[in-house]
């Protein structure tokens, strides 16, 4: 695929836009990707990124965002986030929330907070092996020997988290992996890890739910809302 055109569909400002982009992707002098890395030459992430760059008129105008907005722009589905503090430190409520949304087959992510450089909490996250201001996908939730465990995906710069030392012998469950392609299976042992519910509370700030279902249909209606400028007493 040295050249060609690909179409990317994104939900922008509440409307679906189909963008046509070419196959050219910026590279560094060493032939590596300048922006989104193409692991095993999987190019879909790079094409989506280029679609967003076209909307913003430049790669340089792209900045990090949150999973909720990204998932909504990719799927068109409603998304919402719930901060851990809303659960009043009740692990049972968080567990039920995750299980309920997983049973509905919704997309789930958890996010770490943004932390000041050289702070004690940032050092704590780095020692554990996860990044601050980072999103991790929730792939599974299981009980193992009385422990409620969450399977996360999202490799960071520090290798696998320390939870792997405790739960690293547990494989990803077959029903989660059965639809994965060969490349995803190859990277699953590196990029996925189990975490205990207590650790989820300790290191993560909020949970995001994307209420996407493959067979759902949508109807979008355009409407203009006129502000009432009359003075009222």
Residue 170 lies in a domain: yes
Is the whole model's pTM more than 0.75, yes or no?
A: yes
Question: pLDDT exceeding 70 applies to what percent of the chain?
Answer: 76
Taking only the tens place, the pLDDT of each residue in 158-189 is: 455 655 556 666 666 555 666 666 666 665 55
- Copy the structure tokens of residue 200: 């989820």
Contact 140, 171 (CB under 8 A): no
Contact 46, 53 (CB under 8 A): no
103 and 12 in a common domain? no
Total number of residues shown for the chain = 233
Residue 93 lies in a domain: yes
Contact 101, 109 (CB under 8 A): no
Strand runs (DSSP E) across 101-160, as ranges?
107-111, 135-144, 147-153
Residue 220 has, within 13 A of its CA and on its CB side, a CA count of: 10
Question: For residue 138, what pLDDT band results from cuts at 50, 70 and 90?
Answer: very high
DSSP string for 74-92: HH---EEEEEGGGGTT-HH
Residue 223 lies in a domain: no
Q: What is the CATH number of the domain that holds 135?
A: 3.90.70.10
Question: pLDDT exceeding 90 applies to what percent of the chain?
Answer: 23
147 in catalytic set: no
Average pLDDT, rounded, for the chain = 80
Q: Which of 3, 24, 134, 169 is catalytic?
A: 134
Structural domain range at position 35: 5-60
Which of 3-17, 128-142, 184-198 is predicted with the least confidence, judged by mean pLDDT?
A: 184-198
Contact 170, 194 (CB under 8 A): yes
Q: What is the pLDDT of residue 157?
A: 45
Mean pLDDT in residue range 7-13: 90
Residue with more model confidence, 143 or 130? 143
Residue with more model confidence, 220 or 48? 48
CA nearest neighbour of 8 among 18, 16, 42: 18
In the chain, how many domains are there?
A: 2
């Amino acid at each position: 695929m040295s050249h060609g055109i690909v179409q990317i569909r994104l939900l922008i400002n509440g409307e679906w836009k189909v963008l046509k982009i070419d196959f050219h992707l910026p590279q560094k002098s060493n032939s590596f990707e300048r922006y989104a890395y193409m692991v095993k030459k999987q190019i879909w992430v790079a094409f989506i990124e280029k679609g967003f760059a076209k909307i913003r008129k430049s790669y340089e105008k792209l900045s990090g965002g949150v999973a909720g907005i990204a998932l909504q722009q990719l799927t068109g589905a409603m998304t919402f986030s719930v901060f851990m503090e809303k659960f009043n430190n009740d692990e049972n409520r968080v567990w039920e929330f995750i299980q309920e949304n997983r049973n509905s087959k919704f997309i789930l992510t958890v996010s770490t907070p943004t932390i000041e450089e050289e702070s004690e909490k940032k050092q704590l996250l780095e020692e554990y092996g996860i990044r601050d201001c980072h999103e991790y996908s929730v792939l599974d939730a299981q009980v193992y020997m009385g422990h409620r465990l969450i399977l996360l995906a999202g490799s960071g710069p520090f290798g696998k988290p320390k939870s792997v030392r405790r739960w690293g012998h547990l494989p990803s469950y077959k029903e989660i992996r059965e639809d994965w392609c060969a490349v995803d299976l190859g990277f699953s042992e590196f990029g996925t890890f189990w975490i205990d519910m207590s650790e989820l509370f300790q290191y993560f700030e909020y949970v995001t739910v994307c209420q996407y279902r493959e067979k759902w249909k949508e109807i979008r209606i355009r409407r203009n809302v006129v502000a009432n400028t009359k003075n009222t007493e």
